[in-house]
């Protein structure tokens, strides 16, 4: 993210989304694959709400440790503020400014859930920032109409019925841990409608509750991304994401070696060992690590790629980087697995290949000339603007507040 650092007393609340159009229908819950509706109207619906967004406790906003959640939070601030809502944020100390007041909370970070096992018990460090964030919520809840939780953690889910304010949980990853699955299922028994996800594939990873999870997709400030109608020479491919086993950097090296095309990789170096192993396995691959960039710099850097490679080994809940690349006019070559399979239109905005099919990805690279890069951008303008995201989320929050009033 490209914002300047905020102090605990920062109080700007003037985000501006400004991208064209927003989805018109309230209450959409995404019942068909790839069915995110196009944006249709810019008019805010319903009354102004006071919304508190709770960030992830794994790291401060701007650190990259929170992965796509950090950008999602920023998009929600921009989109919901543009619809006339008053938005504030609670986040770990050291977070960057995101266009709304950020209440910075001290404490020990939570371990990222993707690094613990399915049967792992819930763990909490001494003086946890997660606990402190939710203490803050409890103390200040009367000032808000609704809390929007982005943390993939057991504690806020468990605490929800103990609070007076309705809490909406936007679940950022697929099913990873039994204790979390059970907590979500229990929550939906007492608070129907209190959880949403980014894609249908993500919902399907929670079989017991899949049909009760609302699908809201995701969105970005499209106007902050420049379209590159042609790829740069010499031709190269791109990878954007955390360098970690679940993101499949080894398959990126394999594709680089087989195609002979250089690959530039941007993202947080979370697991250096998995990078080194991939490099050793594919010594002919020209893959260069380009560091972790703020959003404005990232979009400028990736626009010249001939394509973005997405070869994740897990069910990617959404894959923000797919819509970021497409916003720059960059087609996406992705495994037909998880969120990217619902974002990429095969043959139009990139190519979908069978999961783990490296040969399929190599073939797709040879077909990139068939893609009109402007189509990639248009798809994002229509479905994945901050306005479109905010309208879907706003409809969800409105429904939840109404339901909660009846509990």
* Structure token digits, residue 236: 């190269």
Q: Does 295 bind ligand UDP (CB under 6 A)?
A: yes
Of 71, 287, 334, 389, the residue at the interface with ligand UDP (CB under 6 A) is 71
What count of Cα atoms within 13 Å lies in the side-chain half-sphere of residue 387? 24
Closer to ligand UDP by Cβ: residue 144 or 318: 318
CB atoms within 10 A of CB 123: 11
Residues 6+ apart with CB under 8 A from 348: 371, 372, 375, 379
Angstrom distance (rounded) from CA 169 to CA 209 = 14
Binding mask 306-345 for ligand UDP (x = CB under 6 A): ------------xxxx--x---------------------
Q: Does 240 bind ligand UDP (CB under 6 A)?
A: yes
Angstrom distance (rounded) from CA 407 to CA 48 = 22
Per DSSP, helices labelled H in 141-293 are 154-159, 178-190, 200-204, 249-259, 272-281
Q: Does 153 bind ligand UDP (CB under 6 A)?
A: no
Stretch that binds ligand UDP, among 5-13, 32-40, 50-58, 287-295 (CB under 6 A): 287-295
| Phi, psi angle pair for 239, to nearest 5° | -135, 130
To ligand UDP, the closest distance from the beta carbon of 61 in angstroms equals 11
Contact (Cβ atoms closer than 8 angstroms) between residue 109 and residue 127: no
**Phi-psi region for residue 275, left (φ > 0), alpha (ψ -120 to 50) or beta?**
alpha
Contact (Cβ atoms closer than 8 angstroms) between residue 307 and residue 230: no
To ligand UDP, the closest distance from the beta carbon of 293 in angstroms equals 4
To ligand UDP, the closest distance from the beta carbon of 31 in angstroms equals 23
Where is 406: in which H helix or E strand? helix 386-406
Of 79, 109, 241, 245, the residue at the interface with ligand UDP (CB under 6 A) is 241
Closer to ligand UDP by Cβ: residue 165 or 278: 278
- Which of 212, 214, 217, 197 has the alpha carbon at shortest distance from 38? 217
Closer to ligand UDP by Cβ: residue 350 or 398: 350
Closer to ligand UDP by Cβ: residue 30 or 238: 238
Q: Does 266 bind ligand UDP (CB under 6 A)?
A: yes
Q: Does 59 bind ligand UDP (CB under 6 A)?
A: no
Stretch that binds ligand UDP, among 87-95, 290-298, 327-335, 371-379 (CB under 6 A): 290-298
Q: Does 267 bind ligand UDP (CB under 6 A)?
A: yes
Q: Which residues bind ligand UDP (CB under 6 A)?
A: 64, 67-68, 71, 240-242, 266-267, 292-293, 295, 298, 318-321, 324
């Amino acid at each position: 993210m490209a914002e300047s650092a905020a102090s605990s007393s920062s109080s700007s609340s003037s985000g501006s989304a400004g991208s064209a159009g927003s989805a018109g229908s309230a209450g959409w819950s995404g019942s068909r694959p790839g069915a995110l509706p196009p944006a249709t109207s810019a008019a805010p619906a319903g009354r102004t709400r006071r919304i508190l967004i709770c960030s992830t406790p794994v790291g401060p906003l701007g650190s990259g440790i929170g992965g796509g959640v950090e950008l999602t939070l920023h998009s929600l601030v921009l989109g919901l503020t543009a619809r006339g809502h008053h938005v504030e944020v609670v986040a770990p100390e050291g977070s960057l400014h995101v266009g709304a007041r950020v209440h910075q909370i001290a404490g020990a970070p939570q371990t990222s859930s993707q690094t613990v096992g399915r049967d792992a018990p819930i763990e909490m460090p001494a003086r946890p920032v997660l606990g402190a964030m939710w203490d803050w919520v409890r103390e200040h809840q009367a000032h808000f109409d609704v809390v929007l939780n982005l943390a993939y953690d057991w504690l806020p889910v468990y605490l929800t019925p103990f609070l007076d304010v309705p809490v909406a949980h936007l679940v950022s990853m697929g099913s990873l841990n039994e204790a979390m699955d059970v907590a979500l299922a229990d929550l939906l028994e007492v608070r129907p409608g209190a959880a949403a996800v980014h894609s249908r594939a993500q919902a399907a990873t929670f079989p017991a509750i899949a049909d009760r999870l609302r699908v809201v997709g995701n969105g970005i400030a499209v106007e902050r991304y420049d379209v590159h109608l042609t790829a740069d020479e010499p031709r190269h491919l791109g990878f954007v994401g955390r360098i970690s086993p679940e993101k499949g950097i080894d398959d990126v090296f394999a594709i680089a070696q087989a195609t002979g095309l250089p690959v530039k990789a941007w993202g947080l170096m979370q697991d250096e060992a998995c990078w080194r192993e991939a490099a050793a396995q594919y010594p002919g691959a020209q893959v260069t690590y380009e560091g972790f960039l703020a959003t404005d710099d990232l979009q400028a850097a990736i626009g010249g790629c001939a394509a973005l490679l997405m070869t994740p080994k897990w069910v990617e809940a959404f894959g923000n980087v797919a819509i970021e690349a497409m916003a720059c006019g960059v087609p996406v070559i992705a495994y037909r697995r998880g969120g990217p399979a619902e974002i990429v239109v095969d043959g139009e905005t990139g190519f979908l290949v069978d999961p783990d099919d490296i040969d399929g990805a190599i073939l797709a690279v040879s077909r990139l000339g068939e893609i009109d890069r402007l189509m990639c951008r248009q798809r994002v303008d229509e479905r994945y603007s901050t306005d479109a995201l905010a309208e879907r989320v706003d409809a969800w929050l409105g429904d939840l507040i109404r339901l909660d009033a009846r509990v």
